[in-house]
Structure 1
Amino acid sequence: MNRFARKRQPIIGRVAAITAQNFNADEFVRATRPLEQKGFSVSVVSNTSGMLTGRTEAGQDVNFVPASTIGDMEFDGYCALILPGNSHGMGESTQTAIEKFLSDGKPIIAMMGDVPMLAEAANSPDVSDAGVAISMNGKVFAARGESDSEEAIEVFAQVLAA
Structure 2
Amino acid sequence: MNRFNRKRQPSLGRIAAVTAQNFDADEFIRATRPLEQRGFSVAVVSNTNGMLTGRTEAGQDVNFVPASTVGEMEFDGFCALVLPGNSHSIGDSTQAALKKFLGDGKPIIALSRDVPLLAEAASAPDIADAGVAISMNGKMFAARGDAASDEAVEVFAQALAA
Instruction: Name the TM tier (shorter chain).
Output: over 0.9
Kindly provide the CA deviation profile for residues 125-146 of structure 1, in whole angstroms up to 9, marking residues without a partner as x.
Answer: 0100000000001111001111
* Unmatched segments (≥5 aa) in structure 1: none
Q: AA paired with 2:107?
A: P
Kindly provide the CA deviation profile for residues 49-73 of structure 1, in whole angstroms up to 9, marking residues without a partner as x.
Answer: 1110000111111110000001110
* Unmatched segments (≥5 aa) in structure 2: none
* Shift of residue 147, structure 1, vs aligned partner: 1.0
Tell me the residue number matched to 2:24.
Answer: 24
Runs ≥4 residues deviating over 4 A: none
Any residues of structure 2 matched to 1:121-160 within 5 Å, and which? Answer: 121-160=121-160
Q: AA paired with 2:59?
A: G
* Shift of residue 6, structure 1, vs aligned partner: 4.6
Equivalent residue of 1:35, what SS? helix
- How much identity, in percent, do the aligned residues show? 76
Tell me the residue number matched to 2:11.
Answer: 11
* Shift of residue 10, structure 1, vs aligned partner: 1.6
Question: Structure 2 length normalisation: TM-score?
Answer: 0.97
- CA change 1:142–1:3 in 2 (3 A) is farther
Tell me the residue number matched to 1:40.
Answer: 40
Aligned residues: 161
* Shift of residue 9, structure 1, vs aligned partner: 2.4
Q: Is 1:55 matched up with 2:55?
A: yes
Q: Is 1:69 matched up with 2:66?
A: no
* Shift of residue 92, structure 1, vs aligned partner: 0.3
Q: Over aligned residues, Cα RMSD in angstroms? A: 1.0
Structure 2 CA distance for aligned equivalents of residues 59 and 146 of structure 1: 21
Structure 2 CA distance for aligned equivalents of residues 53 and 152 of structure 1: 26
Structure 1 CA distance for aligned equivalents of residues 99 and 8 of structure 2: 33
Equivalent residue of 1:12, what SS? coil
Structure 1 CA distance for aligned equivalents of residues 2 and 146 of structure 2: 35
Kindly provide the CA deviation profile for residues 20-55 of structure 1, in whole angstroms up to 9, marking residues without a partner as x.
Answer: 000000110000000000000000000111110000
Question: Structure 1 length normalisation: TM-score?
Answer: 0.97
Any residues of structure 2 matched to 1:70-109 within 5 Å, and which? Answer: 70-109=70-109
Structure 2 CA distance for aligned equivalents of residues 52 and 90 of structure 1: 13
